[in-house]
Amino acid sequence: MKHTGLRQPFLLSALCAAMLAGAAPSWAVTDKEILEDGKTTHQIVTNGLGLEGQRYSPLSILNTDNVKELRPVWALSFGGEKQRGQQAQPMIKDGVMYVTASYSRVFAVDARTGRELWQYDARLPDDIRPCCDVINRGVALYGDLVIFGTLDAKLVALNKDTGKVVWRKNVADHKAGYSITAAPLIVNGRLITGVSGGEFGVVGKIEAYDPKNGELLWSRPTVEGHMGYVYKDGKAVENGISGGEAGKTWPGDLWKTGGAAPWLGGYYDAETNLLFFGTGNPAPWNSHLRPGDNLYSSSRLALNPEDGSIKWHFQTTPHDGWDFDGVNELISFNYQEGGKTVKAAATADRNGFFYVLDRTNGKFIRGFPFVDKITWAKGLDKNGRPIYDDSNRPGSPSATEKGTSVFAAPAFLGAKNWMPMAYNQDTGLFYVPSNEWGMDIWNEDIAYKKGAAYLGAGFTIKPLNEEYIGVLRAIDPKTGKEAWRVKNYAPLWGGVLTTKGNLVFTGNPEGYLMAFNAKSGEKVWEFQTGSGVLGSPVTWEMDGEQYVSVLSGWGGAVPLWGGEVAKRVKDYNQGGMLWTFKLPKDLVAKK
């Protein structure tokens, strides 16, 4: 069944076939299942294979010894002309896979056969304003609902059996530049989402809703000066969650259009009961218009999931002048040092530095470059604050002339962009998809206009090397040392998965889903999917066998914003496919 164009006979036959095959029994995703998702193998009910976002699977049926025999078992086309970038992570529950596709679509698929059970297409208005392609990064599952965000800034809850709308909620005004591209998060019965739109001068915000009916529970703006609220029965009942003094780290009224959009979504750490969200660039890009640190832009925030109050913040790029959003995932992990357990969190920032923080209080533990060239800063001080190279900040423009252009590295698309890294609990390494590029950047005069691009800058991205741009890196967070690297001609733009089978999976724009030895970096398997792999791979167990699934479909920000880099990938074909792989049964080693 395809909503907004129903195919009822197909729905009935597909659902009946799936139920007879045992693929779609009655289920309800519980808070307990969500909290335990990182340890379970028979299903995936969180974005990140666990609320911490480690993207680590304890499965080892598939390993470095037998992965060479991994082969496709089915593939599903998303069809139609709505291709573009496919960046979602699949979810799997009781033999049914739920995944989003470009243009705010949702598919339910029989995970055994690849048969489409239903499809939902959001009715998007013509005037949506996505900055960086019409992508979507996945759903949340809760109860009997499949919930996702749309490009016109709505949350939509669908019945998991039929795909019919149960409730729909407007989160923000898309005509002002708001949209939603991230997968929502479910924590202790709360549906939590951020918003996109920093390039349009929006005010970023993180909000919690009741997943059963879409009722707003709390709202936490991410620009200093805006008040947060807790709601009951649709009314604000508490206003004591201060967002800081208006204008304190912003000049004049610029805090009213400050950006700082938390567009990548968040994660949760049960040990500290904290939500971890990153925030995007301050608006406009022209930093000379807004002296000060411009809180809470380009930062990591720790929030109380019960009321949205900010418990601590860590700003990776104060007074950001290069569009080094701080949205990249902050991943919780523990390590031993001096006989004690350190409760840490790590993030690989767009600005080129890798940070390890104390996740209980946000204090800086260590930081180090994870790419080869950083020009905008000379390093980090003892608190993790960048030591700026002022000669590499683009100059101030006049009303008639642009400011002095500089060459800065990394480019604004980042040493690492949205694509999530993974942490392996066995090797103790993070596997980071990174890019080596720089940019000519200059500032221009700009004034805010609702719904219009609010940059105040121009740029051209350039590769730093002829032979490669992308680099998959294995990084030790305790030492800052790189264990191994694998270079890729085109930029890396897809997520990473790692497993107890000593494997690391990721894809590239050239179309390959690849597997590497987690300890050595040796490539041990690859498969050509037909289009660029930007999605986040997943693995799970069904009927005693280990499966791997990933989306294939080239697009995203690189071909839209990539300057000279875009020329390098101009001949790559778009697509829209969901691929699933497993080992032949007779090749699976008996345990």
- Catalytic residue IDs: 323
Find all residues with CB under 8 Å of 141, minimum gap 6, and list them: 29, 45, 91, 93, 98, 147, 160, 186
- C-alpha–C-alpha distance, residues 548 and 433, integer Å: 19
Q: How far is CA 126 from CA 116, 123, 130, 152, 537, in A?
A: 27, 10, 11, 10, 32
Q: Whats the size of the chain, residue-wise?
A: 591
Q: What b-and-e string marks burial along 347-369, b requiring 16 or more CB atoms within 10 Å of the CB?
A: bbbbbbbbbbbbbbebebbbbbb
Say if CB 314 and CB 356 are below 8 A apart: no
CA-nearest of 362, 382, 402, 261 to 320 is 261
- In whole angstroms, what is the distance from residue 422 CA to residue 496 CA? 6
How far apart are the C-alpha atoms of 284 and 290, rounded to whole Å?
8
Q: What's the CA gap between 36 and 13, in Å, rounded?
A: 34
Residues 6+ apart with CB under 8 A from 88: 99, 100, 101, 136, 137, 138, 139, 183, 535, 536, 551
Tell me the C-alpha to C-alpha distance, in Å, between residue 196 and each of 32, 371, 454, 560.
Answer: 29, 27, 14, 17
Give a three-class secondary structure readout of 225-249. Answer: CCCEEEEECCEEEEEEECCCCCCCC
The tokens 């709202």 sit on which residue? 219
Please state, in angstroms and rounded to a whole number, the distance separating the CA atoms of residues 507 and 496: 8
Nearest to 445 by CA among 223, 308, 286, 318: 286
Residue with tokens 């960086």: 132
Instruction: For residue 469, give the 3-state DSSP assignment.
Output: coil
Q: Cα–Cα distance between 573 and 83 in angstroms, integer?
A: 10
